[in-house]
Amino acid sequence: MTQPIKITPPLTDKDVEKLKSGDKVLITGVLYTARDAAHKRLIELLDKGEKLPFDIKGQLIYYVGPTPAKPGQVTGSAGPTTSGRMDVYIPKLLELGLKGTIGKGQRSAEVVDAMKKHKAVYLAAVGGAAALIAKTIKKAEIVAYEDLGPEAIRRLEVVDFPAIVVNDIYGNDLFKIGVERYRKVG
């Protein structure tokens, strides 16, 4: 079994060039959170020619709306949400230097093409491990859209946040690879 690859955002082209579909990664550093409503607002800002509330270049966005933190905790459960809901917004953010997203489920052909073009990756986090994922989050602060509650954009500081590379910059897709492997065995 291969050891997980340790990555620290912000990522460079060189960083993502090393990642291949199926690689396990451990992320230490900063992740930003955003879901549908926040993505819509980001694109609206860009359409107006305004600045984003954080520097997106080299960053990873985690699709999560964490539950409220209990006393003594940094955050509540922090499991991934379905990525496809953000697909309409992602090509523009990748064009601006976003290096990856983290969620669950497959991505559209348009997003996969944009990842190849702009050298970005899509990582999957395990949906059933929300409480365990929350333990990797050491600090969480809202940076924009507090009115969105759990869906506000947060800056998370994480240590050894686990994920798997689904789509790499070479067009490989772990979901398709898995289906092919199953067909060969079956």
Q: How many CB atoms lie within 10 A of CB 51?
A: 8
Total domain count, the chain? 1
At 78 the three-state DSSP class reads coil
* Residue 145 located in a structural domain: yes
β 24-33/60-62 pair status = parallel
* Residue 109 located in a structural domain: yes
* Residue 99 located in a structural domain: yes
* Residue 42 located in a structural domain: yes
118 part of the active site: no
pLDDT at 86: 97
Tokens 């905790």 locate to 73
Contact 33, 62 (CB under 8 A): yes
- For the full predicted model, state whether its pTM sits above 0.85: yes
- Catalytic entry in 25, 31, 39, 137: 39
Q: What are phi and psi of 38, to 5 degrees?
A: -65, -40
* Residue 19 located in a structural domain: no
β 137-144/100-103 pair status = unpaired
Domain span at residue 135 reads 5-13+24-185
Alpha-carbon torsion angle 40, 44, 49, 55, nearest 10: -20
Query: How is residue 49 written in tokens?
Result: 């020619």
For residue 9, what are the β-bridge partners?
Answer: none
Query: How is residue 34 written in tokens?
Result: 């955003």
Contact 92, 115 (CB under 8 A): no
75-128: per-residue pLDDT in tens?
Answer: 988 999 999 999 999 999 999 999 999 999 999 999 999 999 999 999 999 877
Percent pLDDT > 90 in the chain is 82
* Residue 18 located in a structural domain: no
Q: How far apart are alpha carbons 104 and 137 in whole angstroms? A: 18
Q: How far apart are alpha carbons 62 and 101 in whole angstroms? A: 6
Region of poorest pLDDT, from 41-55, 93-107, 109-123, 129-143: 129-143
Q: How far apart are alpha carbons 161 and 34 in whole angstroms? A: 17
User: CATH no. for residue 108?
Assistant: 3.20.130.10
What sign results for the dihedral spanned by CA atoms 101, 35, 58, 114? Answer: positive
